[in-house]
Amino acid sequence: MGMGIAIPKPMSAEEFYEWGNRPENRDRFCELERGQIIDVPRPGKRHGFVCANVAGILGNFAVTRKKGYVCSNGTGVIVERNPDTVRGTDVLFFEDAQRLELVEQGYGEESPLLVVEVLSAYGRGWVDRRVSEFLRRGVPLVWVVDPKGRTVTVFRRGKDLHVREEMDDLTGEDVLHAFRCRVAEFFALPGA
């Protein structure tokens, strides 16, 4: 009789969070895909700069309106259960807590109002699959920011996507009321 290949038991999002916070795993950049740990490449400097600009603009919006908060830096989002999938996202906007003590320590069950993915070396197919997962999970608004093309593609569940060019205004539509900025702000260095 032949020997089968042992397939590891699928890991839950909670187990993945604990695993990722062990000292020997803290320098790894991973996601959980259908219960299995996968390594993902680290993004580069330009990617990080654009993510920081987006997070800063959204953070200022939250402070001005005194509602909501921004997460970044690969914050994990549960996009599927049984088996679990956790995606590390670039920028997120939530309104599920009013005080830091109410923001979950691990990966939350509550979907963000907005997910922002910034294109990098991962490739467009990788990001498109993630956008589909976010929309299926119930995220009402997803922006895909393209630093090379200087555009933002807006995705809404059940609606056609639309592309905003560098000189166009980007709004939060009916999800983030009163949010508005010029797409070019995501790519601007101070003093440029």
Are 145 and 160 a contacting pair, CB within 8 Å? no
Domains of the chain: 43-187 (3.90.1570.10)
Query: Cα 177 to chain center, whole Å?
Result: 20
The predicted structure's pLDDT at residue 108 = 81
The predicted structure's pLDDT at residue 190 = 85
Tokens 């109410």 sit on residue: 102
Place 9 in a pLDDT band, splitting at 50, 70 and 90.
confident
- The model's pTM: 0.91
d(CA 107, CA 77): 6
Tell me the pLDDT tens digit for each residue of 99-154.
888 888 899 888 999 999 999 866 678 888 999 999 999 999 999 999 999 999 99
Distances (CA, A) of 186 to 38, 149, 151: 29, 12, 9
Tell me the pLDDT tens digit for each residue of 149-184.
999 999 998 899 999 999 999 999 999 999 999 999
